[in-house]
Amino acid sequence: MKIRLAFITGLLAGLCCAPVLSQDYTRFPGESADQRTLKTQERVDELYTAGDFRRAFFIYEKELAPRGDKYAQYMVGFMHFVGQGVPQDTARALAWYRLAAERGNEVLQGARDELAASMTQDEIDASNRIFLELLQEIGDTKLIMALIRKDMSTLNSRTGTHIAGSNLSSPILILRPSGIPEDPNYYRNIRLRLEARLNYLETKVEISDIARESDNDELRQFEEQVKSDLAAIEVP
């Protein structure tokens, strides 16, 4: 991770004030990086600094960017911009820069704005179309919605039985599904995580100005349905 933070600071040295990217990751209620992902991040940065651009580009684009790794998304855009491991494509570079900057990181926003200012309107129009596709495939809203569905599925799949000798009005004893670590707050933590993710959808995610109106409607309907489902669940 030190390589990643130092490297992006060097790449964007021409921009003013470079806040640490990890600060943005902690605000995003996504999945925590597991050991495999951390090793992949370290390995791909080593490949890039060694000049193995094709392999680095593949890992940034196919393995890390779809997980919401904003540094990886920026690097995909940067490599498109300079033509490293992939044909040079300014419109595609800007689309990836926009995706990388969607959490409001000032450094990434600066890179996005600086590149956009150097492009023609035709190039920006082409980039808009690419960005919309990326947003619908691996944008933060898409990722958060998938995680919410996963958590809701976990809560809804709980099995339970009435405590022996009790009547039907007695509390339900929740039986933890097999394979889940012993944790008395397991389901309560899931609920808290769900609430954080719903809050993110409400307050942090900006719907693109070029996104289709139907996508906005789908997002609102999804949020309302999940809120309703969540309110009906009693977590022990």
Same domain for 130 and 24? yes
Same domain for 132 and 144? no
Q: What is the pLDDT of residue 199?
A: 80
Q: How many CB atoms lie within 10 A of CB 210?
A: 12
Same domain for 102 and 183? no
Rounded (10°) angle between helices 106-117 and 90-100: 160
How confident is the model over 5-32, as pLDDT tens digits?
554 545 444 333 333 343 344 468 888 8
Residue pair 132/210 in contact by the 8 Å Cβ criterion: yes
CA distance 60 to 99: 14
> Taking the CA of residue 77 as centre, how many other CA atoms within 13 Å lie in the half-sphere pointing to its CB?
29
Would you say residue 236 lies in a domain? no
Q: Which pair of structure tokens corresponds to residue 95?
A: 């689309």
Q: Find tokens 């999940």 and name the residue.
A: 226
pLDDT over 60 (residue 34): yes
Q: What is the pLDDT of residue 6?
A: 52
Would you say residue 154 lies in a domain? yes
Q: Give strand pairing partners of 173.
A: 161
How confident is the model over 46-69, as pLDDT tens digits?
999 999 999 999 999 999 999 999
How confident is the model over 102-156, as pLDDT tens digits?
888 999 999 999 999 999 999 999 998 899 889 888 988 888 888 988 888 888 8
How confident is the model over 162-203, as pLDDT tens digits?
334 434 444 444 455 555 555 668 888 888 888 888 888 776
Q: What is the pLDDT of residue 96?
A: 97
Q: What is the pLDDT of residue 12?
A: 44
pTM of the predicted model as reported, rounded to 2 decimal places: 0.73
Would you say residue 127 lies in a domain? yes
Contacts of 82 (CB under 8 A, 6+ apart): 88
Mean pLDDT estimate for the chain: 76
Q: How many CB atoms lie within 10 A of CB 78?
A: 22
Write down the H helix ranges in 139-206: 140-156, 186-203
Of the three residues 137, 165, 196, the one that is the final residue of a domain is 137
> What is the C-alpha R_g of the chain?
21
Q: Which amino acid is at 131?
A: F
Q: Which amino acid is at 183?
A: D
Q: What is the pLDDT of residue 59?
A: 97
pLDDT over 70 (residue 210): no
Same domain for 122 and 209? no
What is the domain extent for residue 97? 2-137
**Per the structure, how many domains does the chain have?**
2
